[in-house]
Structure 1
């Protein structure tokens, strides 16, 4: 049965109109091939859309969106919608007909792109209160149980098979784990170690949301406290994936969730200065991302791998960043492209290639000047002018140009970024190192003394190790001044406290 009225404005259609849209509405949305249209609130009350939302399957939501009568008698082509989403038509077909997506970055980005009402969603958009939306009512009983969860987890009591020192290391993350427990993650962090008989999509969805909550907890507690949490959760989920029973749909969904969790575990290991533990997780993430046909996860893994091996294998670091640039061509936002050039710049510096470093910094600065984008993934939000100046400073240090390094790193101190405190502290410590290399030991000591309390608060062993190196340099007898002794004494007292 054809419509006699335009579904967009309600106007009467001409008898010979076979498009399902009146002429004014067709003219008003000629750009629909490039951007999603603004749809009325009633759009989301259409029964196929409501059913897809209730099934918690964003692929089916997208299919119902494409076939909505609002768009006319002919559904929106997959190629058009795939273009909006930054994927290929074949990938969209797999999204619509395959298992539910569990990757929160992608879920949030696509839901926001299509302007799905937050209250209709089963997951939390960035900036929303936890468990807001349609999923809240469905999970009310579960939330009550989660609220009673123990928030101090002892990984030392975890099963001892195969974890080595990690399994034996005790930790208590207090307030940080309170947030993780509130998110419903205690089934991965504590409780019985037995593998469940079956894994459900709900458990996979919660595992995917654990990464987002770990990032938030990391900002509060620091990687030193959370590294074991992520590793333990990854080991638990991997054991379930290997030994539990589940449908093919659930098995496919596990790939993206485990890949994302692997990347987060690797990053926390890097920041906790447990670098040898990070690389296997990144290799696993790349493999799982390819199995899941998820290029965004693969690019994230390559970005972290480039960072991890920059000092030891700068040539390979360049190749990793180049591969990420190649994979993300066509959909990378300016911020992501900036980050990838910032991964290449210091690798060139470590190789002693000043022209390569300068070329990559020019590209990074040009991309950063294009500004933020609504498609930015969560992991690139730290990419700003402070980060650019910081990477520039580190690269000058690697090139042996301490004076230029001091200039770049001091610019960060003059214009701090309050939302990225850890990076601010890290680059301040590196400024002290640059001042020492420049030969100004008193300035190095003053900077180090000023930043010492902040270093103790952020729980990043990567940062602490750099400050320890500054302390070792300034403690040498030939560097003894009133200022250097004051810092060394304060440092030793803080470490022994």
Structure 2
């Protein structure tokens, strides 16, 4: 049976029209090979799409999307949609016909590309607020109470703790920190997965299924949110313990090949998160093995996005000790991501290379990479941006520029770059703001203005105590040691040293 009207605009079709679309609609979407079309809200009410969403299977959602009558009588080819998603046609075929995807970064990335309404999804997008009872996918509510650290949840997920609202719970900073960590732990226990919690090893099942893989992916998402609220110092051991136990369990358990592929990606992502928390907690020596493991698992899973993320973190980790290798890691990430990297991701990779050149004393190499980074950043954000690049903005570029000038022993230029961050703060990236403010104090000291360095350090002291990042607090401790030298003694420097000593003794 043929349609007598265009499914897109409702216009009458000519008798000899074999495409299923009127001429104006065909002309309006000639660029569909490069990007998904903007579809109406009614598109998502089509029965096959609704059924796939209810089944929580993104591969089936994609297949229902391709075959939707909105696109005409002929379904969108897998090659076209695979191009949108940055994968091959064979990979898309496996996604559509295989087990449900569980890797949250990939789920969120592809859902954003296809513009699936967030309220129709069974998982949260990076910029989406907490679950509510109004969600059409069903499931229970999530609530957390600081007094007894009880987390109640329905069937929706084992680890959807909304730590972003934690600052409104409890009375003081210490209570809020404790709540955030306990909420993450309670989420593990509530899902029945106590074998991942710190403490004596518990008995684990002999088989791994998709539900356990979903747990690992959910744990990564919760650790990221808890890190933003509670800080890496309080979460690093939890992440490392979970990664060790889950990896050991995966090594001796049995699972299908489909589960194994998804498990490799989930474990790679968990390893990267554990490594990042170790870096920010200033336990850098513990981070590298996890990043190497993540790269290996990402290659096994044929997951280039996770591999690039691991290489990006590895480049950051070894920048000071092995700047040449840091350059190679960022270059490898650029090579792997060629063809699908967004401007913001490319910006970040050039920002990984720029300070490595500075550490090597190569001012021209640093300048060249910064020029490339600015050019990419000027291209703006993209709907395909992955969650881990959201911090890349003009302030971050200035911050990396300032650190590079410090490495090149040009503190006056470093002060200019870093001060521009404090005058134009980025509220959504609080930790980076605090970090670069502390580095501004260091640069000001190296420039010779001890009183200004002390004033900056005194102003940022409360924020440093709140974010629980040992990487940041160690730099402030170095400022304190520098300003405490007898030859630097002034009323302002003594005021900061006294305030610092009193704060860290509490």
TM-score for both structures, normalised by structure 2:
0.87
2-side partners of 1:134 and 1:286: how far apart? Answer: 37
SS at match of 1:434: helix
2:197 maps to 1:189: yes
1:74–1:309 CA distance, 2 compared to 1 (3 A): same
CA RMSD of aligned residues (A): 2.6
Taking the aligned partners of 2:88 and 2:152, their CA distance within structure 1 comes to 37
1:161 alignment counterpart: none
Query: Are 1:361 and 2:361 an aligned pair?
Result: no
Is structure 2 residue 69 aligned with structure 1 residue 69?
yes
Tell me how far apart the structure 2 counterparts of residues 213 and 378 of structure 1 sit (CA, whole Å). 13
Residue 159 of structure 1 is matched in structure 2 by none
3-state SS of paired residue (2:21): coil
Q: Following the alignment from structure 2 to structure 1, what is the Cα–Cα distance between the partners of residues 301 and 100?
A: 12
Please tell me whether residue 346 in structure 1 is matched to residue 355 in structure 2. Answer: yes
Give the direction of change, closer, same or farther, for the CA distance of 1:301–1:186 in structure 2 (3 Å limit). farther
Alpha carbons of 1:387 and 1:92: their partners in 2 closer, same or farther (altered >3 Å)? same
Contact 2:405 2:413 in 1 (8 A): yes
Q: Superposition pairs for residues 318-333 of structure 1, below 5 Å? A: 318-333=327-342
Residue 259 of structure 2, aligned match among 250, 255, 258: 250
Q: Pick closer, same or farther for the CA change 1:181–1:127 going to 2, 3 Å.
A: farther
- Does structure 1 residue 100 correspond to structure 2 residue 100? yes
- Deviation string for 1:16-69 (max 9, x for gaps)? 332222334323322222221233444334443333323322122212221223
Shift of 1:312: 0.3
Shift of 1:369: 1.6
Of 125, 136, 139, which aligns to 1:137? 139
2:470 aligned to 461, 472, 486, which one? Answer: 461
**SS at 2:349 equivalent:** helix
Partner of residue 234 from structure 1, selected from 225, 237, 243: 243
Change (3 A) 1:317 1:185: farther
Q: Bigger CA drift: 246-255 or 390-399?
A: 246-255
Mapped to 2, the partners of 1:145 and 1:22 lie a distance apart of 45
**Range with bigger deviation, 227-236 or 475-484:** 475-484
Cα displacement (A) at 1:10: 4.5
- Asked if 1 retains the 8 angstrom alpha-carbon contact of 2:139 and 2:155, the reply is no
Which of 420, 424, 447 in structure 1 is aligned with 2:429? Answer: 420
Aligned mates of 2:271, 2:236 — CA distance in 1: 11
Shift of 1:440: 1.9
CA distance in 2, matches of 1:18, 1:337: 43
TM-score (norm 1): 0.89
How far, CA to CA, are the matches of 1:139 and 1:78 in structure 2? Answer: 37
CA deviations on 1:343-388 (whole Å, 9 max, x unpaired) are 0000000000000001111111111122221111111111111111
Distance 1:446 1:186, change over 3 A: farther
Matching of residues 67-466 of structure 1 within 5 Å: 67-131=67-131, 133-137=135-139, 143-144=153-154, 173-178=178-183, 181-182=186-187, 187=193, 188-189=196-197, 193-466=202-475
Cα distance in 1 for residues equivalent to 2:417 and 2:7: 57
| Greater mean alpha carbon deviation, residues 104-113 or residues 136-145 | 136-145
Task: State which drifts further: 78-87 or 226-235.
Answer: 78-87
Q: How many residue pairs end up in the alignment?
A: 476
The 8 Å contact of residues 140 and 154 in structure 2, kept in 1 or not, is answered as no
Q: Which runs of 5+ in 2 are unaligned?
A: 143-150, 162-176
User: 1:32 aligns to what SS in structure 2?
Assistant: coil
Report the equivalent of 2:28.
28
Distance 2:156 2:308 in 1: 34
User: Per the alignment, do residues 456 and 4 of structure 1 end up closer, same or farther by CA in structure 2, a change over 3 Å counting?
Assistant: same
Structure-2 change in CA distance of 1:11 and 1:488 (3 Å): closer
Relative distance call for 1:418 and 1:119 in structure 2 (3 A) is closer
| Per-residue deviation, residues 294-318 of structure 1 (Å, max 9, x unmatched) | 1111111000000000000000000
Cα pair 2:140 2:155 within 8 Å, conserved? no
Distance 2:22 2:156 in 1: 52
Q: Report Cα offsets for 1:317-348 as digits up to 9, x if no partner.
A: 00000111111111111111111111000000
**Unpaired runs of 5+ in structure 1?**
152-171
The structure-2 alpha-carbon separation of the partners of 1:138 and 1:89, relative to structure 1 and needing over 3 Å to count, comes to farther
Q: 1:489 to 1:9 in 2, by over 3 A?
A: closer
User: Does the Cα contact within 8 Å between 2:82 and 2:92 map onto a contact in 1?
Assistant: yes
Is the CA contact (8 Å cut-off) linking 1:386 and 1:417 kept in structure 2? Answer: yes
2:31 match: secondary structure:
helix
Question: Aligned partners of 1:395, 1:148: CA distance in 2, in Å?
Answer: 42
1:113/1:275 CA distance change after superposition, 3 Å: same
